[in-house]
């Protein structure tokens, strides 16, 4: 069982890895040690290599250096094919995990507060939470595996997230990649962090690590100011030294031995100049080396870069008015929701809260339809009243990113964005410059979401409508987005399952599906 793995280690020595065709390494000469009985949280900016590292552990890529481990690795999420959607999960468990035993899966499902019946329904008919529970039950049904868990709570509602959080808190022997601070704090006892230029392993949960890091960064910023001043002095010294050599060299010009007997000969001056230039070059090399060392001390600081946004102020106080409002899709037996009464006033940030399927996204789309953002009307019947203020300008970020294609410059032109401002916001969200030339369809989900969020932040609007905007967004960018919303106070209606983000950002919560 898991206890037999205690004190086994995963040793990473001088790991270097680059994707084919890329000049920038994802990892360069990194070394660290992990214990296989840890509950390890893995955090870092989007694109820094978290999923890549998991795939290196699985042996999917070639690399330089060594990864030594006695453990067998298994990875979540399992790949689900189109053919699986019409099948019952009980029929393809063995395909997901070799040697998987049904009774072990049933034991794990019980711990996940799920009944055996979900194994005997078509997989495609299950909710995101039910699918996740089955895949986690399969993952933990083995023995002596070290488990690699990649973002298990994406698209899950709060009830499912709470269940997964409690389940993972009772386990050990895993690496958990997640951007959900609540989940990380509840489930982990060590943190593996991909910093800007290093990898760090520290005991404790995410909040403990962040508090320690904030203190270190505060101290480091003070040290950085000293280093910057020292670098400036060193560069000034290098310029002065070079200037002295040039001055001596220039004394040769206009010298005539026949008329200026009291001056040293040109040959003597030339010899002295060569000696001084040699000393200057040696001095410059020492200075440049010292500058590089001091600049290296600045490189790993996680800068707290403030984002900007440009909300508009509508002339009316009430932007959205719902009175006994309900929506039912054509042909459906029951309404998605009904009897909803609420209002969104200027400056409100309203979080829609409720289980998956309660109509949160549908309500957002109806607001977009009323505001003239949707090109096609939804095939629904409405009851009650849903009104938006006249002339309301809405900026929308949806869940779907599959429509994103082409280059970032083309994306800017379509949305009427100033390219240099758009790229500046992307850089502030740590979107790598090297990625600017890539087609959007080849970018990661996190990078696509950052493009949508950057566009929304740069779009002047009366109302910002965001539907699960933080899926795939790294924890550092989440905190940046929190900060810009709190500082600028835009009017918003949003859906977000990140509990900590919702609690910090929302001024009101509209409960749905609990009538």
Cα–Cα distance for residue pair 174/179, rounded to 1 Å: 16
pLDDT tens readout for residues 150-161: 999 988 888 899
Question: Could you tell me where the beta strands, DSSP code E, fall in 83-196?
Answer: 145-150, 174-177, 190-194
Q: Which two tokens stand for residue 396?
A: 């929308």
Tell me: pLDDT of 254 over 60: no
Helix-then-strand count for the chain, H and E: 14, 17
Q: Answer with the residue of higher pLDDT: 237 or 439.
A: 439
Tell me: pLDDT of 246 over 70: no
Q: What fold does the segment set 2-209 form as a domain?
A: Rossmann fold (3.40.50)
What's the confidence (pLDDT) of residue 389? 96
Maximum distance among all Cα pairs of the chain, rounded to whole angstroms:
113
What's the confidence (pLDDT) of residue 396? 96
At residue 172 the predicted structure's pLDDT band, cuts being 50, 70 and 90, is very high
Give the whole-number percent of the chain exceeding pLDDT 90.
Answer: 63
At residue 366 the predicted structure's pLDDT band, cuts being 50, 70 and 90, is very high
Backbone angles phi, psi at 497, to 5 degrees: -85, -10
What's the confidence (pLDDT) of residue 271? 60
Tell me: pLDDT of 266 over 60: no
pLDDT tens readout for residues 298-308: 455 555 567 88
pLDDT tens readout for residues 97-132: 999 999 999 999 999 999 999 999 999 999 889 999
Q: Answer with the residue of higher pLDDT: 436 or 1.
A: 436
What's the confidence (pLDDT) of residue 216? 80
Of 275-279, 385-389, 444-448, 473-477, which range is least confident?
275-279
Looking up tokens 């100033």 gives 418
Q: Is 130 exposed, middle or buried (0-12, 13-18, 19+ CB in 10 A)?
A: buried
Average pLDDT over residues 356-360: 89
Class at the top of the CATH hierarchy for domain 318-511: alpha beta
pLDDT tens readout for residues 125-170: 998 899 999 999 999 998 889 999 999 998 888 889 999 999 999 9
Tell me: pLDDT of 176 over 70: yes
Tell me: pLDDT of 20 over 90: no
What's the confidence (pLDDT) of residue 481? 95
What's the confidence (pLDDT) of residue 5? 43
What's the confidence (pLDDT) of residue 19? 83
Average pLDDT over residues 480-484: 95
What's the confidence (pLDDT) of residue 346? 96
Secondary structure class of 103 (helix, strand, coil):
helix
pLDDT tens readout for residues 452-477: 999 999 999 999 999 999 988 999 99
Residue spans of the domains in the chain: they are: 2-209, 213-296, 318-511
What's the confidence (pLDDT) of residue 262? 53
What's the confidence (pLDDT) of residue 7? 59
What's the confidence (pLDDT) of residue 3? 42
Which residues fall within 8 angstroms of residue 216, CB to CB, at 6 or more apart?
none
Domains 2-209 and 318-511 fall in the same CATH topology: yes
Enter the DSSP assignment of 84: G
At residue 397 the predicted structure's pLDDT band, cuts being 50, 70 and 90, is very high
Average pLDDT, the chain: 86
Backbone angles phi, psi at 88, to 5 degrees: -80, 145
At residue 4 the predicted structure's pLDDT band, cuts being 50, 70 and 90, is very low
Q: Answer with the residue of higher pLDDT: 120 or 225.
A: 120
pLDDT tens readout for residues 312-352: 999 999 999 999 999 999 888 899 999 999 999 999 999 99
What's the confidence (pLDDT) of residue 293? 60
């Amino acid at each position: 069982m898991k206890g037999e793995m205690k004190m086994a280690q995963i040793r990473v020595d001088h790991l270097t890895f680059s994707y084919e065709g890329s000049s920038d390494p994802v990892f360069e000469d990194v070394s660290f040690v992990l214990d296989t009985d840890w509950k390890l949280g893995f955090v870092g900016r989007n694109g820094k290599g978290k999923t890549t590292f998991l795939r290196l552990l699985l042996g999917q890529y070639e690399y330089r250096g060594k990864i030594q481990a006695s453990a067998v690795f298994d990875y979540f999420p399992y790949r689900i094919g189109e053919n699986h959607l019409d099948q019952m999960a009980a029929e393809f468990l063995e395909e997901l995990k070799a040697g998987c035993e049904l009774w072990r899966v049933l034991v794990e499902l019980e711990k996940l507060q799920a009944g055996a019946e979900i194994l005997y329904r078509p997989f495609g008919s299950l909710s995101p939470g039910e699918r996740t529970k089955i895949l986690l039950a399969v993952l933990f049904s083995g023995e002596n595996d070290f488990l690699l868990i990649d973002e298990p709570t994406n698209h899950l509602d709060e009830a499912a997230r709470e269940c997964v959080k409690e389940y993972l808190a009772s386990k050990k022997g895993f690496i958990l990649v997640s951007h959900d601070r609540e989940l990380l704090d509840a489930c982990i006892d060590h943190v593996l962090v991909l910093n800007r230029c290093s990898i760090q392993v520290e005991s404790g949960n995410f909040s403990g690590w962040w508090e320690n890091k904030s203190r270190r960064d505060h101290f480091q910023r003070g040290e950085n100011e000293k280093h910057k001043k020292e670098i400036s002095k060193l560069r000034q010294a290098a310029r002065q030294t070079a200037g002295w050599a040039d001055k001596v060299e220039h004394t040769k010009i206009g010298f005539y031995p026949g008329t200026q007997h009291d001056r040293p000969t040109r040959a003597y001056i030339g010899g002295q100049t060569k000696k001084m230039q040699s000393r200057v070059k040696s001095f410059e090399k020492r200075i440049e080396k010292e500058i590089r060392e001091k600049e290296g001390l600045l490189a790993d600081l996680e800068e707290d870069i403030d984002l900007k946004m440009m909300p508009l102020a509508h002339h009316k106080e009430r932007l959205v008015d719902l009175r006994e409002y309900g929506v039912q899709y054509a042909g459906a037996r029951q309404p998605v929701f009904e009897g909803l009464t609420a209002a969104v006033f200027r400056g409100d940030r309203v979080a829609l809260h409720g289980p998956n399927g309660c109509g949160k996204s549908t309500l957002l789309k109806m607001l977009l339809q009323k505001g003239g953002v949707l090109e096609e009307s939804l095939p629904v019947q409405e009851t009650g009243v849903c009104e938006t203020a006249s002339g309301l300008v809405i900026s929308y970020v949806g869940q779907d990113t599959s429509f994103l294609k082409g280059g970032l410059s083309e994306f800017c032109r379509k949305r009427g964005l100033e390219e240099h401002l758009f790229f500046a916001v992307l850089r502030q969200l740590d979107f790598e410059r090297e990625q600017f030339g890539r087609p959007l369809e080849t970018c990661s989900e996190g990078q696509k979401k950052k493009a949508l969020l950057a566009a929304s932040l740069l779009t002047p609007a009366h109302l910002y409508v965001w539907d699960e905007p933080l899926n795939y967004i790294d924890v550092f960018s989440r905190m940046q987005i929190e900060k810009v919303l709190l500082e600028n106070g835009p009017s918003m209606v949003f859906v977000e399952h990140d509990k900590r983000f919702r609690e910090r950002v929302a001024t009101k919560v509209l409960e749905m599906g609990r009538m």
